[in-house]
């Protein structure tokens, strides 16, 4: 992976209380970053903080409540972060749920799409002005990293159910997960396009961390390995890996000097790889952006 940059600025990490997110937080803390763990379970987040401090005494770690399935919680997290009056160069959209039975979020959106994509879409939109401000003030490139998955290739026939995201009859826990992971890549792609068009010094990329045995697998641990058998990309053929390897690509994309100026790409095993044709579709990325905006605005209106 090579040598990572030593950083001093804050790095919010969603889902930083366990699994790959915790390992990512630990590595970032080792590299002097001020880690902000966003987590739904504050007890787990507190334990994660103490674990990081045990490995890296003197590390700067804060925890903030964040439930990505709730637009209300996402907005509260963004407000809490802004209240800290800290700069923001790197944002890691890590948290997610996997293969859960059909259910809806408190905003009435299918849970995997709401948690894995929509929550991060809103969080990024709420924090992006702070990132732009920091990039201008410091001259340091901002970086957004979305955790996706090789599972993005296994989605619905027409990629994303724009016509009815909550269709229970068509619901497949695996395809719904793939749909949300495809959305993560398309989100990074459209962010990248917008940043380049605006001339903003911020990059946005997506990563596949590999198949890691983490709490995400509480619903299923077998079907993901089956999916990889149909994938021809060598970097993703390893089935199960440890959390250290799983966090490596995220850390590489977020902090490595070689990633300067690289944007709108998809990475696995610290290498750029080509995602599915759907994930490369610019029009699909723009359509998802507009669709996501409508959903978050609708959720806000319903709470007004």
Task: Please indicate whether residue 266 is annotated as part of the active site.
Answer: no
Instruction: With respect to residue 195, please indicate whether it lies within any of the assigned structural domains.
Output: yes
18 Cβ contact partners less than 8 Å away, ≥ 6 residues apart: 44, 48, 214, 215
Closest CA to 108 of 140, 72, 149: 72
Residue ranges making up the domain that contains 101: 10-303
Give domain status of residue 153, yes or no: yes
> Domain total for the chain?
1
CATH number for the domain that contains residue 148: 3.40.50.720
Q: Active site residue: 156, 171, 177, 266, which one?
A: 171
164-201 pLDDT, tens digit each: 999 999 999 999 999 999 999 999 999 999 999 999 99
> What is the band of 244 on the pLDDT scale with cuts at 50, 70, 90?
low
Radius of gyration of the chain (CA): 18
**153 DSSP 8-state letter:** G
Residue 1 belongs to a domain: no
pLDDT digits (tens, 9 = 90+) for 83-100: 999 999 999 999 999 999
Mean of pLDDT values over 258-274: 97
DSSP code per residue over 170-222: T--HHHHHHHHHHHHHHHHHHHHHHHHHHT-SEEEEEEE--EE-SGGGGS-SS
Report yes or no on 5 lying in a domain. Answer: no
- Does a structural domain hold residue 2? no
């Amino acid at each position: 992976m090579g040598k990572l940059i030593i950083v001093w600025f804050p790095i919010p990490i969603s889902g930083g209380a366990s699994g790959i997110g915790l390992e990512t937080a630990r590595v970032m803390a080792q590299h002097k970053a001020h880690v902000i763990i966003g987590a739904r379970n504050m007890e787990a987040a507190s334990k994660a903080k103490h674990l990081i401090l045990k490995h890296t005494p003197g590390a700067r770690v804060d925890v903030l409540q964040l439930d990505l399935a709730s637009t209300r919680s996402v907005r509260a997290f963004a407000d809490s972060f802004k209240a800290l009056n800290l700069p923001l160069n790197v944002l890691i959209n890590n948290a997610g749920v996997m293969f859960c039975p059909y259910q809806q979020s408190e905003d009435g959106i299918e849970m995997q799409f709401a948690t894995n994509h929509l929550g991060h879409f809103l969080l990024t939109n709420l924090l992006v002005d702070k990132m732009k401000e920091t990039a201008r003030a410091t001259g340091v490139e901002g970086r957004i990293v979305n955790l996706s998955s090789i599972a993005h290739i296994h989605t619905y026939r027409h990629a994303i159910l724009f016509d009815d995201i909550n269709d229970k009859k068509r619901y497949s826990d695996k395809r719904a997960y793939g749909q949300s992971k495809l959305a993560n890549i398309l989100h990074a792609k459209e962010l990248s396009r917008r940043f380049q068009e605006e001339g903003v010094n911020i990059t946005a990329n997506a990563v596949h961390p590999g198949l890691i045995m983490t709490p995400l697998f509480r619903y299923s641990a077998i079907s993901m390995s089956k999916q990889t058998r149909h994938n021809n990309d060598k970097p993703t053929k390893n089935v199960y890996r440890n959390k250290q390897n799983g966090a490596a690509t995220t850390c590489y994309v977020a902090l490595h000097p070689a990633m300067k100026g690289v944007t709108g790409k998809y990475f696995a095993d610290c290498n750029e790889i080509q995602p599915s044709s759907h994930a490369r579709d610019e029009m699909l990325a723009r359509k998802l952006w507009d669709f996501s905006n409508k959903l978050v605005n609708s959720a806000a209106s319903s709470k007004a």
